[in-house]
Homo-oligomer: A and B are copies of this chain.
Amino acid sequence: MYRDAHVGETAVGGAALALPASCAACPVRDSAICCVLDRSGLAALSRFGRRITLPAGQTLLWEGEEAITVGNLLSGMLKLSTLTGDGREQIVGIVHPSDFIGRPFGRNSPHSVTALTDATLCVFGRTAFDRFAQEHAAIGQALLERTLIELDRARHWMLLLGRKSACERVASLIVEIADRADGGPTIDLPLSRQQMGDILGLTIETVSRSLTRLKRAGVIALPSLRRIAIRKPDELRAIAEG
């Protein structure tokens, strides 16, 4: 399904200080977790990494199944999701480029990992990566800091899910995506209304109605289906905070 050439092959000629071939071309080499490694660590890690592509909609890891891979997202966007016994879905996280993917030090994946857009990843076998992380304290440390930030984010989202109204939730999502994209006032969302609902714990219809309410209030504009223009950022933020 997804396969590609080994990334490894440390620098040709054995010059220990050269960047591994594929890492040199890595779009997130300054921001992914590997950026804490020195040249030799990078070479060692890249030896068992491989680059893969994941078409939109395809699932990399299934909830409850054995979690055999971890890695970095290079481009595109992924979702992390869980299901209730009877199939209701909740998205529990969005993965952006340079974010770490997977569950080190645990046999089974606590949630599914699925591509929202076409995506490219740099993946490692979990057990090999676990071993590597234990030998290279810098990676363990970086992983810890990232995990702590993810935990903060997840808990912050719990406030949204537990206590905010539909409009507040939609406003929060727009703010969050705008902050992450960190571009102009117009954002391109990689999410369908259904997916927005799955993130916010709402139905499609409620998401749609909330968007039109925000639009009617002049806080945002909807130039196209997957595009949102923020007209009154402060007001939007105020609504989002509850």
Chain A residues with a Cβ under 8 A of chain B: 80, 82-86, 88-90, 92-93, 103-106, 110-111, 134, 137, 140-141, 143-145, 147-148, 150-152, 154-159, 161-164, 168, 200-201, 238, 241-242
Chain B residues positioned under 8 Å from A143 (CB to CB)? 144
In Å, the complex CA distance between A63 and B93 comes to 22
Given A158-B157, A159-B90, A163-B201, do A84 and B151 touch, yes or no (CB 8 Å)?
Answer: no
| Copies of chain A in the complex | 2
A205→B154 CA distance, assembly (Å): 27
Q: Using Cβ atoms and an 8 Å threshold, which residues of chain B touch A84? A: 159, 163-164, 168, 241-242
In the complex, are the beta carbons of A110 and B156 less than 8 A apart? yes
CB distance from A1 to the nearest CB of B (A): 26
A156 and B137 CA atoms in complex are apart in Å by 29
Q: Please report the C-alpha to C-alpha distance between residue A143 and residue B143 in the assembled complex, in whole angstroms.
A: 11
- Looking across the interface, which residue of chain B has its beta carbon closest to that of A163? B88
Chain B residues positioned under 8 Å from A163 (CB to CB): 84, 88-90, 201
What CA separation (Å) do A155 and B113 show in the bound complex? 13
> Are B104 and A148 in contact (CB-based, < 8 A)?
yes
Among all A-B residue pairs, the 6 with the closest Cβ atoms: A162-B201, A84-B242, A161-B161, A85-B241, A92-B155, A154-B154
**A103 — which chain B residues lie within 8 A by C-beta?**
148, 152
Chain B, Cβ-Cβ closest to A200: B162
Q: Closest residue of chain B to A111, judged by CB? A: B155
Q: Which residues in B have their C-beta under 8 angstroms from that of A134?
A: 141
Q: A80-B155, A84-B241, A154-B158 are in contact. List 5 more A-B contacts (CB 8 A).
A: A110-B152, A137-B137, A140-B144, A161-B161, A163-B201
* A242 closest partner in B (C-beta): B84
Residues of B within 8 A of A93 (CB): 155
